[in-house]
Structure 1
Amino acid sequence: MATPLTHAADRPTYLTWDDIGAATQALAEQVTAAGVPQAVVGIVRGGMIPAVWLAHRLGIRDVRTVEVTHTTSDGINAAKTTLPTARNAASLGDLMGLDVLLVDDIAGSGATLAYTADMIRGLGPARVRTAVLTVNRANWVQEAEPHRVIDYTVSLKDTWIVFPWEGQHGR
């Protein structure tokens, strides 16, 4: 379970749509440098918007979704479940032999991204790469540093991140 942030400096960071546009452009540039994937998979819900923006920026029409959750609610510092859970793995379809880019909005502990990437690898793609807009280092629990686990990311933050699609701006 994540420890609630308590310091004044640890107040949430609120991102704007302009921030998201700039971040997806930066991710697209990073991804393109290593070759354009054949399919983009967004982790529902938060990863869908950046996945679609990235797909447009990369010129990819094959966009898929999978619902994987690792929190008990959507609130700031929501409690974590013991393990991530997939609810619609069949929605991934046939990924055999494809170069796949897995996208989420944020990596907190890193568990959801790792779990989902392993699930996709089990479907036989030629390559699986991961991308997130930001990493919340305050919740990171993986042994390796984020840049060693995630292929592409734009920022590392030490606070909770609130995205514009979450409807929590101004609260």
Structure 2
Amino acid sequence: MATSPPPPAPNADRPAPLYLTWDDIGAATQALAELVTVGGIPQAVVGIVRGGMIPAVWLSHRLGIRDVRTVEVTRTTVDGINAAKTLLPIVRNPASLGDLTDLDVLLVDDIAGSGATLAHTADLLRALGPARVRTAVLTVNRANWTQEADPDRAIDHIASLNDTWIVFPWEGQHEH
């Protein structure tokens, strides 16, 4: 089994990564579910593969939504802390989204760094004719944000805002 290299040591230019726990993820998905509910329960949840699938499934259970779909959209070229990114998001298998015509759709990802992946995927969904597309993320890394609008204006539902690299429990990079 391949393992990720150890995280780089923090330096003055880069704060230490924040390591989230499963309890943190549970609390964040609960907070997102409460935020989403205010605007009505969506009919479908779309998780951005890979990182967005776990929060998408948790949200679907918390909201009672059985229609869960996936789309693979990536910007990082490898796994790991501060991984290199592609210039533009890369979409694989958009047909996995199926027919979204007239549906209220919730698009979910684990993190918005620059915001490009989420924005690109939301545009991809809107082109499929849903009645509404809302976005939700567990966290935003403001240190990497590059979109014109601030995260709280560009993303409908955010569980937390941070200023450093986030490591999720499913990434296998936690310190022991």
* TM superposition score normalised by structure 2: 0.92
Letter in 2 for 1:45: R
Query: How many Å apart are 1:162 and its aligned residue?
Result: 0.2
Residue 74 (structure 1) shift: 1.2
1:31 lines up with 2:31 in the alignment: no
Change in CA separation of 1:9 and 1:68 when aligned onto 2, cut-off 3 Å = closer
The alpha-carbon deviation at position 99 of structure 1 amounts to: 0.1
- Alignment partner of 1:161 is 2:129: no
Match in the other structure for 1:44: 49
CA shift for structure 1 position 9: 7.2
Pick aligned residue for 2:108 from 103, 108, 123: 103
Please list every run of 5 or more consecutive structure 1 residues that lacks an aligned counterpart in the other structure.
none
2:79 aligned to 67, 74, 90, which one?
74
Out of 151-160 and 6-15, give the one that drifted further: 6-15
Normalised by the size of structure 1, how large is the TM-score?
Answer: 0.95
Q: Secondary structure at the match of 2:55?
A: helix
Partner of 1:151: 156
Residue identity opposite 1:31 in structure 2: V
Which consecutive residues of structure 2, in runs of 5 or more, have no partner in the other structure? 1-9
State the match for 1:16 in structure 2.
21
Query: Post-superposition shift, 1:8?
Result: 7.9
User: Within 5 Å, which residues of 2 pair with 1:113-152?
Assistant: 113-152=118-157
Instruction: State percent identity of aligned pairs.
Output: 79
Q: How many residues align?
A: 167
- 2: CA distance between counterparts of 1:125 and 1:37? 11
Distance, in Å, in 2 between the alignment partners of 1:41 and 1:18 is 23
Q: Which residue number corresponds to residue 63 of structure 1?
A: 68
Residue 144 of structure 1 deviates from its aligned partner by: 1.0
Q: CA deviation at 1:80?
A: 1.1
Distance (Å, rounded) in 2 between the aligned partners of 1:86 and 1:55:
23
Residues of 2 paired with 1:154 and 1:85: CA distance?
Answer: 25
User: What is the root-mean-square deviation of aligned Cα atoms in Å?
Assistant: 1.2
